Structure 1
Amino acid sequence: MRLIAILVMIMQIYVAMGPLTAQEAKHLERLTTADQSRGWESVGRIELAGSGFCTGTLVTERLVLTAAHCLFDRETGARHPLEAIEFRAGWRDGRAAAYRQARRAVIHPNYVFGGEDRIGATVHDMALIELDNPVRLPSLPPFGIAAAPKVGATVDLVSYAVDRAEAPSREERCHVLGEERGLLMLSCNVDFGASGAPVFLRRGETAEVVSLVSAKAEWRGQKVAIAVAVAPHMALMTDILEGRVSRARDVQITGSASVADQPGTADHPGAKFLRP
């Protein structure tokens, strides 16, 4: 199966109005209690200049993984100012396990916000946010990164989204339906606000991030999620952030005087694939 061939139009998922239906929500477990949330609290809500939120994941003491399109204002195409971006680890019913502001942010150099090649943009829809202070709490260990699983593998998803914004929800036993060019098609059910949400592969008691949610889609009458494989891009992203890449064209990084910010300018519509 050629995954890319079925994707006629792509739009990333973002915060939007409109509730989840009961059918959409029934497969999700709301992580309401401390016991339910234990082990998943390094997933949090990323607040975006008071205009919405995405989901992010702590992958080191200082770095949060999310989708690149989350860092852009969908109306103006401009980058959200760093001082207006806050990571709320383990956000649940009005409280977070840790609050941190963004210090710097780097977007994959091949990502183009609002460009004509939406498939190409989605393949690189990945960003790292460096926090102003490290998170060093025993209850918030960073998640490791692993290679994307094969088609047929079972994965878990933890996310925030519209109408379930006040606590994370977990969907177990999603399946990888297809893979192409670093994009995974998953049987997970996602909605607005789930952009950047981590997709986990579990090995025993260990859960590792294998991809992050970029978009939602419909395929053969089934609601699916489109996710970006993370492992192939992590080394480049961290090298850029740490200055080990001396000069890279079109690197989009803020919070650093050494590399110019190059924000997108196009409109950002919200929110689905259309099947052919």
Structure 2
Amino acid sequence: MLRVLAACLLLAGQAASADTTLRELATADDGKGWEAVGRIDLGGKGSFCTGALIAADLVLTAAHCLFDSRDGARIPDGQIKFMAGLRNGRAEAYRGVRRSTVPKDYDYLDKGSIQRVSRDIALLLLDQPIQLPSIRPFPPAMGLTIGTEVGVVSYAAGREAAPSLQEVCEVLDAAGGVAMLSCVVDFGASGAPVFVLGPGGPQVAFVVSAKAESDGRKVALASDLGATLHGLKRSIEMNPTGAMNAGSAFVTGAKRIRP
């Protein structure tokens, strides 16, 4: 059972970490294999999150990224941009968003709740697929156990121009669709993919949602893909150009960076 008190659940990166285990992926060589991770710019006002391609036209991120934290309004899909492999002002590919979707039972107003973290997953359907040989979508991974070593690739405050990799952190606990990780998070890391090394390369196991404390230790909370991802894919498939789903009235989790 997760040993995190709701009162200790913080917005992702609310306190900047001094951890030095992050490795910046600022060059083409450093970023090789991670080009499908990108920055998601939101609403044209300087806010951003991190996301990752899981198909040529699908980006996985955190549900709370799709809402304006000031008034809870859904950010129009036309104001969301995905920049795959962004490094130092130049991306491997730029795409707009045709449609976004979040879980129907995702509740922004339930602040401080572990339940909302468990549903903090969103899918973005891009306006055009990204079909470049250098950009390979990441397959999902399911059912990781406590003690599994994972890594996180993210953009964040002070490093918004290029992604950084924390290569080795681990699953400390997991229950109810939420994983507690020893990984580093900061503003902008919301929505970042948490990877495990599979037989064919990196696979996405979780999505970064929030920062918390457990027994005085700073930890990251992440949403388990579980059945939620399947439901979001079905929603996109059934209505790829439709209006936002019923979940658009709700949001949860860690905030985005704001200047």
TM-score, structure 1 normalization: 0.85
Whether the 8 Å contact between 2:8 and 2:213 is mirrored in structure 1 is: no
Report which of the two structures shows the higher radius of gyration computed on alpha carbons. 1
In the alignment, is the contact (CA less than 8 A) between 1:10 and 1:215 conserved in 2?
A: yes
Q: CA 1:64–1:194 in structure 2 vs 1: closer, same or farther (change >3 Å)?
A: same
Aligned to 1:248: none
Would you say the 8 A contact 1:145–1:231 is kept in 2? no
Question: How many residues are paired up?
Answer: 255
Query: Which residue pairs with 2:249 in the alignment?
Result: 263
- 3-state DSSP of counterpart to 1:56: strand
Q: In structure 2, what is the equivalent of residue 167 of structure 1?
A: 162
Residue aligning to 1:141 = 136
> Which residue number corresponds to residue 175 of structure 2?
180
Q: How does 1:86-235 map to 2 (within 5 A)?
A: 86-116=81-111, 118-204=113-199, 206-235=201-230
Any unmatched runs of 5+ in structure 2?
none
Aligned with residue 28 of structure 1, among 16, 22, 32: 22
Root-mean-square deviation (CA), in Å?
2.4
1:191, 1:92 → 2: CA distance?
Answer: 18
| CA distance in structure 2 between the partners assigned to 1:240 and 1:264 by the alignment | 16
Change (3 A) 1:220 1:167: same
1:45 maps onto 2:39 in alignment = yes
* Inter-partner Cα distance in structure 2 for 1:107 and 1:159: 21
Q: What residue identity is the alignment partner of 2:249?
A: P
Percentage identity across paired residues of the two chains: 42
**Unpaired stretches in structure 1, ≥5 consecutive residues:** 245-253, 272-276
In structure 1, C-alpha distance between the alignment counterparts of 2:215 and 2:244, rounded to whole Å = 47
| Distance apart, 1:205 and its partner CA | 5.3
Alpha carbons of structure 1 residues 156 and 256: separation in structure 2 relative to 1, 3 Å: same
Amino acid at match of 1:38: K
- Give me the TM-score of the superposition, normalised by structure 2: 0.90
Cα-to-partner distance string for 1:207-226 (whole Å, 9 max, x where unaligned): 10000100011223322110
The residue that corresponds to 1:247 in the other structure is: none
Matched, 1:239 2:234: yes
CA contact 2:65–2:255 (8 Å) conserved in 1: no
Task: State the alpha-carbon separation in 2 of the partners of residues 265 and 153 from structure 1.
Answer: 29
Deviation at 1:12, TM superposition (A): 4.0
- Tell me the SS of whatever aligns to 1:242: helix
